[in-house]
Amino acid sequence: MKLQQFLEHHGIVKNPFAEEDAQTDPVFKEHCIVSTHHPSWDKIYGDPLEPATSVVFGEKGSGKTALRLQIAQHLGEHNRRRPDRRVFVVHYDDFNPFLDRFRDSLWGNRRAEQVLEQWMLWDHMDAILSLGVTQLVDRIVQTGQSVPGSADDAAKLDTSKLDVGKLSRHEARDLLLLAACYDRSTAEPYRVRWHRLRRALGFRTWKSWREGAIGVAVTAAILGFIVWQQQTDWLTTVWPYLFIAAGWIPWFLTFWKRFWLARGIAGNLRVLERNAGLLRKVLAHLTNDELLNQPIPNKQRTDDRFELLNKFQGLLQSLGYPSVLVLVDRLDEPHLVNGSPDKMKTLLWPMLDNKFLKHPGIGFKLLLPIEMSYFVERESRDFYQRSRLDKQNVVPTLEWTGEALYDVANARIKACAAPGKSPSLKDLFDESLGDRRLIDGIRALRVPRHLFKFLYRAISAHCNAHTDENPVWKISAAEYESTLALYRREQDAFDRGVGAG
C-alpha cells in the first residue's frame, strides 16, 4: 500500500516526518515555530528587553537550529510590538567564509589544526561586526539584495527602513568608518555601495578635498604667474617645480597616511577580504580630524574591537535598537572543523571570555554540540575564571522527555492535517500498543531528529508490508517493536562511531 494512502486515511495531507533539519523544514517554519518549544525554552530565550547570554549544549538533532530560528522569530514579533525597544539580531552560524579568508591570510599551506590554533577572540569579533554592519548597511541603502550568509535570516524579520536622520555627523562618520572596514556585501561594487551609504546619511566630504585643492591652487598660481610675467624661461629652472612640489606636500602626506592605515586594516582584518587600494580611496574622503583617535582594526588585539563594538551599539541605539543578540550555531559544520570535537574546541574557546560574553547591551545564545560540554568539565580553574560560565545561564544538555517528544510529533501531525480533521500519533498505531508503551519507546530515541526518522521508517515499513488490495490502517505493536529495536541498534552503533548511522 502507498504511504500517502495510509496518511490520507488518517486525515493527514502530507508526511509530517519527511524532513529532519529545521533549516529546510516547511512544517516547522510554517506551523510549529511559534507554538512548539523545548521544555527549557523560557530559560534559553529569556527577556528580550534585557538580552542575556545562554550557553546550550545539545546532541545532533536535539533542536539547536530550531531554537535559533524560534528565537529570531520571537524577537521579530517583539520588535513589531515594541518599536521603541527593538533587538538587533545577528546570526553567526556560517563560519566558512570567515575561515576561508582567515586561512588565505596565513603564510604557507597550513593544516586545519594549525589554522584554527591561530584563531583569536578578535577574529570572532571581526566576523560578528562584519555580519552586523553589513546587515545594517543593507537596511539603510535597501539594495534589494543581501550578502550571502546567515545574517539575511535576521534581516528578513525586520525590513522597515531606518531613520538615519536621527544620526549626528559624528555617528554618520562612525557608520561610514565601520562600513569601510566591515561591510562585506557583494550586491554592488565596494566604493559604489560606500558612496550610496554616504549620500543616504547626508555626509558631505568636501573638507577632505582641502589638501588636493591646495596643490591645485599652488600649481595654478605658479603657472599663472609665469604666463603673466611672460617668463617662460623660468620653466628651465628648478624653482617653479620646487614651489609646486611644496604645494602638493600636504596631499602626499595624507595619501601616505591613508595608504599605511588601509594597509594595516587589510593586513589585520584576517577574516575579511579587503583591498588596500580601494580602502585607501574610501578613507581619503574622511579628514585627518575625523580619523584622529578613532579605533581602527589595524592591529591584532581586542581593545580596538571592543571600542568599535561600542560604536556599533551606539549607532543601533540611536536607530531604535538598544539591545543586540548574537545567535551562534552550527559550530560543527565548517569544512575546516568537519565535525571534529578537538577542532570545534579550538575554534570556540577564544569566545568563552567573560568580558566578551557579558559585554553591556549584548546577549549571546551559544547553541553548542554536546561534545563541548565534556571539554568544559575537564577544564582548569583558569578557564573557569576567564569564562565565568557560572554567570552565563548554562543549559548542560538539551534533553527531551518522552512526553515532550510525543507532543512534538502530535503538533506536526496536526499541522499536516486535512481541514476539519484532528488526527494524533496514537491513531496510527494499534490500540494494543498502549499510550504508555508508545511514549516509553519514543523516550529512548532522545531527540526530535531520531523521532522523525523512526516514525518515517515505521510508517514506510508498515505500508511496504501490505498491499493496496488488503490495506491495514493501524501499525501493529509487533511492527512497532521490531522497527524500534532495529532503529535503536543502528542508533547505538552510530553513537559508538560504528557504521554510517
pLDDT in tens, the chain (501 residues): 889 899 998 999 988 998 888 888 888 888 888 888 888 898 899 888 888 999 999 998 888 999 999 999 999 999 999 888 999 999 999 999 999 999 988 876 678 888 999 999 999 999 999 999 999 999 998 754 444 444 444 444 566 678 888 889 999 999 999 999 999 988 889 999 999 999 999 888 776 677 777 777 778 887 777 767 666 666 667 767 787 777 777 878 888 898 999 999 999 999 999 999 999 999 989 888 888 889 999 999 999 999 999 999 999 999 999 999 999 999 999 999 988 999 999 999 999 999 999 999 999 999 999 999 999 988 888 988 998 888 888 898 888 999 999 999 999 999 899 888 889 999 999 898 888 999 999 999 999 999 999 999 999 999 999 888 888 999 999 999 999 999 989 888 877 665 444
pLDDT value of residue 170: 92
Give this prediction's pTM: 0.88
CA distance 322 to 341: 36
Cross-strand bridge partners of residue 328: 92, 366
b/e map 424-436, b = 16+ CB within 10 Å: ebbbbbbeebeee
CA distance 415 to 85: 33
Domains in the chain: boundaries:
3-16+401-495, 40-204+300-395, 208-268
Cross-strand bridge partners of residue 429: 475
Q: Write the CA distances from 284 to 103, 141, 209, 334, integer angstroms.
A: 29, 21, 9, 37
pLDDT value of residue 251: 79
pLDDT value of residue 83: 87
